Amino acid sequence: MAGIVKVGEFEISSAVATVDLDNVFNDNFDVFMIKCVSVGSDTNSVTTRMRFIKDDGTVDTNTSYATANLNVADFSTTINRLESTGINQFYLSRVSMGTSTEEFTNLIIYLFNTRLSLHTNFVYINSTLDPNVDFKMERGQGYHSQNEKIRGVQLFSSSGNLDNGKFVVYGFKKS
């Protein structure tokens, strides 16, 4: 029977350099979703990033990531497209957040092929940001070219620390 199952939940309320959602991906599911709510930072003008935790428990910092993001910078007609290949992380958001209590990011991340060692790992990202001035939205996607099993992800800020957020991992059951 197909369905959605919560496989992990993590919360931070003080400054940490990384949030490791480790040992959350397993062979019981085809697709995973990570819901990130009210993610904040202790540093101004930063973005949210992600790396994969490989099956052996190490974080992949090789230049094997590629991302493309499309963001609506405000409620005007400003739309930006940003692409990067050969980098050592996924850009989950290219829109900066800061230290104000009203500045936070919400993300939904879908991950595909995490447990297939002979396939490329794909991610699909939706994010919203309230930078205390106006509401911003972003959609992105990316791939990891190492073709290896992934058991989790590491989330971090482009500078400084993440200091707030709730992270829930769901698995979509095989049918």
Listed by start position, the domains of the chain span 4-173
Quote the pLDDT of residue 16: 95
Whole-angstrom distance, CA of residue 89 vs CA of residue 83 = 13
Q: Which of the four pLDDT bands, split at 50, 70 and 90, describes residue 37?
A: very high
Mean pLDDT of the chain: 86
- Supply the pLDDT for residue 77: 60
154 versus 80: which is more confidently predicted?
Answer: 154
Alpha helices by DSSP H, 8-141: none
What pLDDT is attached to residue 75?
59
Asked if 155 contacts 127 with a C-beta cutoff of 8 angstroms, the reply is no
> Does CATH number 3.40.1350 belong to domain 4-173?
no
pLDDT over 90 for what percent of the chain? Answer: 43
Tokens of 122: 């794909």
**Residue 84 predicted with pLDDT over 50:** yes
User: With 50 as the cut, is the pLDDT of residue 30 above it?
Assistant: yes
Read off the pLDDT of each residue in 12-21 and give the average, rounded to a whole number.
Answer: 95
What integer pLDDT is reported at residue 1 of this predicted model?
43
Instruction: For 130-165, write each residue's pLDDT tens digit.
Output: 655 566 778 888 988 888 899 999 999 999 999 999
> With 80 as the cut, is the pLDDT of residue 172 above it?
yes
- Which H or E run includes 48? strand 48-54
Q: Do residues 85 and 74 touch, judged by C-beta distance below 8 A?
A: no
